[in-house]
Chains A and B, each alone.
Chain A
Amino acid sequence: MTLNIESRTKTVSETGLPVDEIVVNIGPSHPSTHGVGRVLVHLDGDIVVKADMIVGYLHRGIEKMAENRTYLQVCPLTDRLDYVGSMYANWAYCRAVERLAGIRVPERAEYIRVIVCELQRIASHMMGIGSAAADTGATTMFIYAFDVRERIIELFEVLCGSRLTYNYVRPGGVSMDLPEGWTDDVLKFTSTVRRPLDEMDKLFFGNTIARGRLKGVGVLSAEDAVAWGASGPTARGSGVNWDLRKHDPYSVYPRMEFDVVIGDNGDAYDRDRVRLLECYESVKIIDQAISQMSGGAYKADGLARLITPPPGDAYDHIESARGSLGVYLVSDGSPRPYRMKVRSPAFCNLALVPKLAVGHTLADLVVVLGSLDPVFGEVDR
């Protein structure tokens, strides 16, 4: 249900505020702000006439902290950016460092990175659609999604000992080789994960109430998606064919066969469903990567513990679960970065909230917020 806000006449009070509006403060502590987001909503009846997105409650100054640490010490900081997809931030940062210092990464390490990051993509998307579903009251869907995510987290725990902040991808490769039998566990996971994914597709995306709640809500046109700098499933849901794995290929992705999932209408339903369908593609990539992977070194040989890149700057980006995640590094020739800047896809996507929520009901606002899948660690940095 949408309403043309501009065409309405307003009675204005002495203070200049329309008398028939109420202001509802949602967040920073609220069940469906996905962390510490805050939206200041102006409501006319049940219709949102204005939504101000207020960010910064999780600002830890990670980019500034990076300036006082060596290149290796920054790695654990990048874990804390997108805490639902730590592997991505690790990898994006490491690619920038490798470009800056001219480090060559062994092929096996690239395959390992692809495998862990595609697993991470599934885990992150499960969190995304699970909490988007929980926002509409479908708590069972949330638990089902977390069941799949938990299996991936357990794989990561075996891999590097951590469940959330892995610090696994390091400049020049990865921190340690795959444990014995780990790829068999991954194959066991990929061979059984399609069933729960199908189940979720039917349980939530096939449900009449869920379709009614998500379809036609927060419609984002392809032109707007590009103009607002949206990326990842948020842009692809609007039909923008943009995936860095295909369109700016990096690592060993050119050797993988997979499709870019694209939505038609650009509404919340398409954004959420693109995430689910991308999981099937990730499963394909993982299977291919494991079958193509051979032995060899898991990290670059002869790499100094203290990386000292020559003066200069470097930017590199990867396709994270939320979109184009880029890291820009400036070096002054010292062992510490002179400046680090993170191009955060969650931040760019979240900027769409005021645009998408206006004209919808309060109940749709949380659907819009959930369909953008923000992670505030990355938004506020």
Chain B
Amino acid sequence: MTSLLWGALVGLVCGIVIAVAALLGVWAERKVSARIQLRLGPQESGPFGLLQTLADTVKLVLKEDITPTQVDVRIFRLAPLLVFVPAAASLSVIPLARGWAPFNIATGALFFLAVPAISVIGVLLAGWSSRNTFASIGGIRGASQMISYELPRTLSVLSLCVLTGSVSAVTIHDSFRWWWIPLNAMGFLVYFIASIAELNRGPFDLPEAESELVAGYFADYSGIRWAVFMMVEYGGLVAAAFFGAAVFFGGGLGIGGPVGALIFVGIAVMIVVTMMWVKWTYPRMRPDQLMNLAWKVLTPMALVQLLLAGIVTAVIPWH
């Protein structure tokens, strides 16, 4: 009974975290992109325009909930949920302190990598049920991209599992050694790039490529249903950053206490800002180039990293 209550509480908190992450993420994206593009970004609402996204949220919630006539209504309404729930669930296994994650399960790392993949179904259904060529192409592009990048992303984290001999995110987080950072540099690069692609962010934002597909798989969504897709993007961004910081950098580089927590958040914020920096600097790739990158560059890189981790584990009996 208590575990059920705890589960409900964590679920609620994860949902709220995603909403807050979207609020702050959209604001940060606007500010970062503005600084890159000789602009100022939000200025008027609240200090540094912080309340701008809150105002946008109020607008989106109050908008008419439009369901276009030609869509497959039930699937159309289900799709945003199918995208949102896995993203929220994946948050619950991120180790936030030494020996502690909201859900400390033995397969935490695998859970984090596998569960968001369910979002693919939501993306595909959103595109399919819209009965719109742009949305269909966007949905299919999204599905193929997310499945392809699942592999290098998982492989890059797998080398950490080999080093620690565990697939528990908390164990990986706790047994951090400083020399893992140079050892896993290539793995982290693969994780970073694959995470961007996994989140459909630029330069891999083909499923929602504005100049080709207008808005891709959520072209027919508006109001709060549209906002759910945006929330998932930013929630996923924050989740990828915190999980990356937790497993590749041991949270706060293995340092405990408030200083460690500060370093942890600092690393995560740096990952988020770098992802935004990349998005606002590079043009978008073409679908075939994207697939080439996943299968011919990132996957071999992740495999080499895995081999490296295996050799190190075999040669140095450190644990």
A-to-B contact residues, CB < 8 Å: 1, 22-25, 30-32, 46, 133-141, 143-144, 147, 203-204, 207, 209-210, 212-213, 361-366
Contact = CB atoms under 8 A, between A and B. Distances in A.
A136 B285 CA distance: 8
Given A30-B214, A362-B137, A362-B212, A137 B287 contact: no
Contact of B281 (A22, A30, A46, A140): A140
A209 B212 contact: no
14 contacts: A23-B133, A24-B134, A136-B283, A137-B284, A140-B33, A140-B36, A140-B37, A140-B280, A144-B37, A209-B284, A209-B289, A212-B286, A213-B286, A361-B286
Interface in B188-220: 202-203, 205-206, 209-212, 214
Nearest to A362: B212
Contacts of A204: 283
Sort chain B's interface into a size bin: 20 to 34
Contacts of A135: 211
A210 B203 CA distance: 10
Given A24-B137, A143-B39, A138 B288 contact: no
A2 B209 CA distance: 21
Nearest to B282: A209
A210 B283 contact: yes
Contacts of A137: 202-203, 205, 209-211, 282-284
A363 B205 contact: no
Nearest to B210: A31
Contacts of A140: 33, 36-37, 280-281
Contacts of B205: 137
Contacts of A213: 283-286, 289
Contacts of B259: none
Interface of B: 33, 36-39, 133-134, 137, 202-203, 205-206, 209-212, 214, 280-289
A365 B287 CA distance: 13
Given A137-B205, A139-B37, A209 B283 contact: yes
Contacts of A133: 283
A139 B283 CA distance: 8
Given A137-B209, A366-B211, A209 B37 contact: no
A138 B38 contact: no
Contact of B286 (A32, A141, A147, A363): A363
A333 B93 CA distance: 86
Contacts of B283: 133, 136-138, 141, 204, 207, 209-210, 213
Given A30-B214, A363-B212, A147 B38 contact: yes
Contacts of B210: 31, 137
A24 B133 contact: yes
A30 B219 CA distance: 12
A144 B281 CA distance: 11
Q: Nearest 7 pairs between A and B by C-beta?
A: A137-B284, A138-B283, A32-B211, A136-B283, A143-B37, A135-B211, A24-B133
Contacts of B285: 209, 212-213
Nearest to B213: A362
Contact of B287 (A25, A143, A144, A361): A361
B164 to A, nearest CB: 35
Contacts of A22: 133
A151 to B, nearest CB: 12
Contacts of A147: 38
B287 A366 contact: no
A207 B278 CA distance: 12
Given A140-B280, A147-B38, A31 B211 contact: yes
B272 to A, nearest CB: 18
Contacts of A24: 133-134, 137
Contacts of B133: 22-25
Contacts of B211: 31-32, 134-137, 366
A375 B55 CA distance: 37
Contacts of B282: 137-138, 207, 209-210
Given A134-B211, A362-B212, A212 B289 contact: yes
